[in-house]
Amino acid sequence: MESILPKQIRTLITEFAKIPGIGPKSAERIVFFLLKTNQSDLDTFGSSLQSLKQNIKRCTNCFNITDNDICVICEDTNRSAAQICVVEEALDIVAIEKTRQFDGRYHVLGGVISPLDGIGPEELTIHQLDKRVRNEQPQLRELILATNPSLEGEATNMYITKKLGATGIEMTRIARGLPVGGEVEYADEMTLTRALEHRVKAG
Provide the binding-site residues for Zn ion, judged by CB under 5 A. 59, 61-62, 64, 71, 74
200 forms beta bridges with: 173
Q: Minimum CB separation from Zn ion for residue 130, in Å? A: 17
Long-range contacts of 69-76 (CB under 8 A, 24+ apart): 73/105, 73/106, 74/105
DSSP state of 179: P
Smaller CB separation from Zn ion, 2 or 103: 103
Gap between the Cα atoms of 192 and 195, Å rounded: 5
Smaller CB separation from Zn ion, 136 or 154: 136
Smaller CB separation from Zn ion, 84 or 187: 84
Q: Minimum CB separation from Zn ion for residue 189, in Å? A: 22
* Alpha helices, DSSP H, located in 71-202: 72-75, 90-99, 126-136, 151-163, 189-197
Smaller CB separation from Zn ion, 12 or 71: 71
Q: Minimum CB separation from Zn ion for residue 161, in Å? A: 23
Q: Minimum CB separation from Zn ion for residue 133, in Å? A: 15
Smaller CB separation from Zn ion, 125 or 156: 125
Smaller CB separation from Zn ion, 74 or 192: 74
- CB contact set of 90 (below 8 Å; sequence gap of 6+): 63, 64, 65, 108
CA quadruple 120, 121, 124, 129: dihedral, nearest 10: 180
Q: Minimum CB separation from Zn ion for residue 107, in Å? A: 8
Q: Give yes or no for a contact between 105 and 46, defined as CB atoms under 8 angstroms apart.
A: no
Gap between the Cα atoms of 140 and 151, Å rounded: 28
Helix%, strand%, coil% for the chain, nearest 5: 50, 10, 35
Q: Minimum CB separation from Zn ion for residue 73, in Å? A: 5
